[in-house]
Structure 1
Amino acid sequence: MKVIDSGMPEEKLWSTFFNVELILSELEIDKSINDLVEIGFGYGTFTLPASKRINGTLYAFDIEDNMLQLLSQKLSVAKIINVTPEKRDILESCTGMDAESVNYVMLFNILHHNKPNDFLNEAWRILKPKGKIGIIHWRSDIPTPRGPEVIIRPKPEHISQWIDFAKFYLHKSPFILEPYHFGLIITKK
């Protein structure tokens, strides 16, 4: 099931909306991570840079055939071998990953779905204890050049309400990722 209002502009324009290296640093994506899952990789804006920061494998999932082909081409050209891209509808069939098998899950610009807990529950299932979920989303407090309709964008306080504090704790409180996003990190207990 495709997340509503998830269309993307041309890649060149899309890449101008993010300071990728800053976002990855703020979200603590680094060599302490062995295996990482990215749900909804799109153009691979974060996939390739994140793959160079971790020690293990980056498992990248997206629902779109064309995005899978594009990412596969980019990986081949860049000679990156630690990324496993897969076309999969996470909301219909989960990731297919073993329980407690990864250190980190990236949920970037995807929680505007009408059932965001489906993503959070799958992330919890596949995360090892002390594993982290990095979340970014479009801000709703300022005008942005893209993103889903403001009315369906999650605010940091919404995400805090969705978190099951029996399963997670807030590792890094919501923070601004200039110019158009906010981020936060939660950790599995």
Structure 2
Amino acid sequence: MKLRDSGMPTEAYWETLFDVPLILDQLGVDSMLRDVVELGCGHGTFTLPVARRITGSLTSVDIEPPMVERTLERATAAGLQNLHCQVCDVMTDGFGVEPSSQDAVLFFNILHCEEPVALLREAARVVRPGGWVLVIHWRYDPTTPRGPMMEIRPRPEKIVEWAGQAGGLELSGNVIDLPPWHYGLRFRKVVAAKL
């Protein structure tokens, strides 16, 4: 199922909207992470920098074949060998990785979807105990240059509520300010319960 979105702008414009190094630094995406899974590779804006920072494999899935093709094209040009990028419908097929196998799951600008609790539940299933579910989203502010309609744009406290409903995830620290347009949340998997 295609997730509701706010439309994907051109690659050149999209990449002006993020301070990618700052975001990854603030979320703790670094060489301490081994295997990571990402929902929505898009143009590869975060995918390529994440793959460079981690020490294992990055599995990135997107429902849009052109996004996967572009990300793979960029990864090949960059000489990245630890990226596995594929077309996948996570809502019906999951991430395609083993339970409790990932150090982190990345949800960047995606939790305005129709079933955020289901996505967070799948993240809790695949991340190892003590691992991370890392989230960024557009601020709840109509002056942001992009982002979903305000009616479906989640505030941080709503995402925290959804994570609680998903089970096994606990907020670590406070909401992270990610200028100019985003906020971040770090959830730790606290139990090895069957999800």
TM-score (norm 2): 0.94
- Pairing of 1:145-156 with structure 2 (within 5 A): 145-156=145-156
Distance 2:5 2:50 in 1: 25
Superposition map of 1:1-189 within 5 A: 1-164=1-164, 167-189=168-190
Secondary structure of the residue that 1:173 maps to in structure 2?
Answer: coil
Shift, 1:142, TM fit: 4.9
Q: Distance in 2 between matches of 1:164 and 1:140?
A: 20
What's the RMSD between the two structures over aligned residues? 1.1
Deviation at 1:164, TM superposition (A): 2.1
Distance 2:70 2:144 in 1: 26
The Cα of 1:90 is off from its aligned counterpart by 0.3
- Report the number of matched residues: 189
Q: What secondary structure is seen at the aligned counterpart in 2 of 1:50?
A: helix
Measure, in 2, the Cα distance between the counterparts of 1:153 and 1:118: 17
Bigger Cα displacement from structure 2, 133-142 vs 61-70: 133-142
- Distance (whole Å) between structure 2 residues aligned to residue 101 and residue 137 of structure 1: 25
Give 3-state SS (helix, strand or coil) of 2:50's partner.
Answer: helix
Offset at 1:52? 0.9
Amino acid at match of 1:139: R
Q: For the residues of structure 2 that align with 1:186 and 1:135, how far apart are their CA atoms?
A: 8
CA distance in 2 between counterparts of 1:24 and 1:137 reads 13
Offset, 1:6: 3.6
Structure 1's consecutive aligned runs of 4 or more residues displaced over 6 angstroms after TM superposition are none
Amino acid paired to 1:91: M
Cα deviations by residue, 1:129-184 (Å, 9 ceiling, x for unpaired)? 00101100011135111111011111001011112275121113212211111101
Unaligned ranges ≥5, structure 1: none
Letter paired with 1:177: L
Structure 2 spans left out of the alignment, 5+ residues: 191-195
